[in-house]
Structure 1
């Protein structure tokens, strides 16, 4: 190769390299939530992920054994696929998701979770969304029965002594002060409000959210995984972000708890801005630079920001940029099978930093599939 040829190839490579950098810089500076590079639009991505979910068997947290009941990651993904179907006008997808549900009224009836725990109760959001889209009362009856059970008198093997005290104070007897709860509870109760218009459901969830905020939110706006675990675990904080977003999206403006919840939400969003990576992602431990970029948390934070920008709760320029970068970052973690990669496995709490850093990094885990669909829905609304 002569010198001129070498210089020409080098110049061409440099041109492509710096053009790529310029493109990324342009994307990072943009707050546009409507126009997307080819292959990354919310309709394209949402359709891929939702269609993949339709043909995915019931899963048991990645274990080879089939689940005994529908697990909460599946419930959250199912709900997300339904909301995406509505936002994208995909009636076939709604029918497919309803057909997936039909065996639960018959041969798979034992797979409906007993609503004696927050992780099981979130399942109720699925039939309530089916009711909102089909107007079939059988879905309403099932979903409302679960929502009522969540605030009913404590009963069953999971009842603890403090459950009765929470119930007497007007909180759900399933209160346990884990940050995960603030999606599991609010998603169900907000859906019950949307399906019936009965304000008691949104009032319940709002009171519960304020209790959790007062007990668990730190001065920096973030949340430890639990009071005895001083780590800002990404997906745990993601449940809080998504839960506040679901609640605020339906809460009447005159609700007495709205201002308090909005403050909790905006404080959290402001803190999250500081920790978003240049690739649009947030880490497994939010404030730990040695932690790995994790997709389920990023999806939940991005969903919260997209919604906040569109609802006018957040500054369009500042948070629109963060939301756009979050979405483009997430899209880069979806493989050819429409599976989201780098998803933290199901995680119990533990007062050990290394425990969080060493969590398995799954592919196709429904913890990560669900928030992609929430984001796609929010972008299309």
Structure 2
């Protein structure tokens, strides 16, 4: 008995020592993400961008127009999700509550603005109520958020199936979402929604099916140099298009369980892309409207998405800190220089459909304050303070 008591005492002392060690262990400091210039402080920039989002009405695909929108689509959802996460990470309770109060309207007087999930652009609004649920555990938000997540992979009725284009039917028959169109933008939209559903429910089906979906996009669109064409019939490395995939892979890998069978393939695709992106970053830290064309204009929304992917990779230990950390730092500081006095980002490519025409991409309008750019800037701040 005396020997048993001695063993138990040693065990308890060991546990106490481990507990003290855990309590006194600080997160690893990443030199590249410390001591930013005053005008590039991520906590301050993230707060200003989130507050800017709160001052604005809902947009129409990221553009603020005189006519009130009839639905809330992906640029708003992406900015809203980023602001919610940033406020939580920085313990800004006032900002968090105002963002949640705004989401509360989606359950009542603004419920009509939640669109039917007929495509990825409209389904992704589900990330907002799901993030609110993850923070508050309010079941009302879970119910609303899961509707588009489940709709995205639902079993189609014979009538619905016959209305699909033939190529979509073939993809659906292989077990992919009926939203599958093989545009690279999709793999942020689908990934963000299904990953949030997994976080909210801990139901493995959500994360497993989006990982499988990601591999289909990797196999279809990724080129040997690691970058992606805008679509399988549009062979151009469009900046923001590639940015959606970079951000989507970073987000998915952050949540995807380490033992998931699809993880090694996605990680390889991610690292291949990051390696080539380094080669196309210009001397000021920016990436261009067409990534492989140094004469194309530096574009901020794609640059912000690549910066987010770099920051995430460095913090997770997937990417070399000295190389990618410095590249991310340079990009972030450069991006902050594109913010105007209203906290609106300049040089954002306007909303862009696909077209097999190089000049089409080069001639896209450069706009200021559009949520296509505001959103990934918030993600960068979010990633830096995490």
Aligned partner of 1:131 in structure 2 is 133
Q: 1:353 aligns with which of 358, 361, 366?
A: 358
CA RMSD of aligned residues (A): 1.4
Distance 1:108 1:256 in 2: 40
Contact kept in structure 2, 1:282 and 1:294, CA below 8 Å: yes
1:306-355 Cα shifts (integer Å, max 9, x gaps): 00000000001000011101110110011110111110000011111211
Structure 2 partner of 1:66? 68
Residue 145 in structure 1 maps to residue 144 in structure 2:
no
Unpaired segments ≥5 residues, structure 2: 1-29
Q: Decide whether the 8 Å contact of 2:73 with 2:124 is kept in 1.
A: no
CA–CA distance in 1 between the matches of 2:213 and 2:289? 27
SS of the residue corresponding to residue 284 of structure 2 reads: coil
Quote the Cα distance in structure 1 between the aligned partners of 2:290 and 2:364.
Answer: 11
Deviation at 1:144, TM superposition (A): 1.2
Counterparts of residues 356-367 of structure 1 (less than 5 Å): 356-367=361-372
Distance 1:31 1:322, change over 3 A: farther
What secondary structure, in the 3-state scheme, does the structure 2 residue paired with 1:224 have?
coil
State the match for 2:225 in structure 1: 220
Q: CA separation in 2, counterparts of 1:323 and 1:142?
A: 36
> Helix, strand or coil for the counterpart of 1:173?
coil
Measure how far apart 1:230 and its partner are: 1.4
- Aligned pair 1:184/2:157, yes or no? no
Quote how far apart the aligned CAs of 1:252 are.
0.7
Distance in 2 between residues matched to 1:138 and 1:161, nearest whole Å: 37
Q: CA deviation at 1:31?
A: 5.5
SS at match of 2:302: helix
Does structure 1 retain, via aligned residues, the 8 Å contact 2:103–2:128? no
Match of 2:89 in 1: 87
**Residues paired across the two proteins, number:** 352
The answer to whether the 8 Å contact 1:31/1:318 transfers is no
Q: Distance in 2 between matches of 1:278 and 1:49?
A: 26
Instruction: Give yes or no for contact 1:302–1:323 (8 Å, CA) kept in 2.
Output: yes
CA–CA separation in structure 2 for the residues paired with 1:83 and 1:132: 10
Aligned to 1:22: none
Task: State the alpha-carbon separation in 2 of the partners of residues 364 and 150 from structure 1.
Answer: 30
8 Å Cα contact 1:154-1:163 kept in structure 2: no
The alignment status of 1:282 with 2:287, answered yes or no, reads: yes
Within the candidate set 252, 265, 269, 2:270 is matched to 265
Aligned to 1:4: none
Cα distance in structure 1, aligned partners of 2:141 and 2:307: 30
Does the 8 Å contact 1:34/1:379 carry over to 2?
no
Report how far residue 64 of structure 1 moved: 3.3
User: What is the CA–CA distance in structure 2 between the aligned matches of 1:167 and 1:222, rounded to whole Å?
Assistant: 25
Alignment correspondent of 1:331: 336
Corresponding position: 1:45 with 2:50? no
Q: Quick check: 1:163 aligned with 2:168?
A: yes
8 Å CA contact 2:182, 2:217 repeated in 1: yes
Matches within 5 A, 1:238-317: 238-317=243-322
CA change 1:336–1:79 in 2 (3 A) is same
Shift of 1:165: 3.2
Alignment check: 8 A CA contact 2:184 2:244 kept: yes
Q: Quote the Cα distance in structure 1 between the aligned partners of 2:355 and 2:122.
A: 22
Shift of 1:105: 1.6
* Aligned residue number for residue 35 of structure 1: 35
Q: Deviations over 1:131-151 (max 9, x none)?
A: 011111111111112111110
Q: Hey, what's the Cα distance between the residues in 1 that align with 2:298 and 2:68?
A: 29
Aligned to 1:57: 57
Alpha-carbon distance in 2 for matches of 1:240, 1:329: 22
> Are residue 370 (structure 1) and residue 375 (structure 2) matched?
yes
- Cα distance in 2 for partners of 1:281, 1:166 equals 36
Q: Structure 1 CA distance, aligned partners of 2:175 and 2:235?
A: 28
1:251 Cα deviation from its structure 2 partner: 0.6
> Which moved further from structure 2: 144-153 or 297-306?
144-153
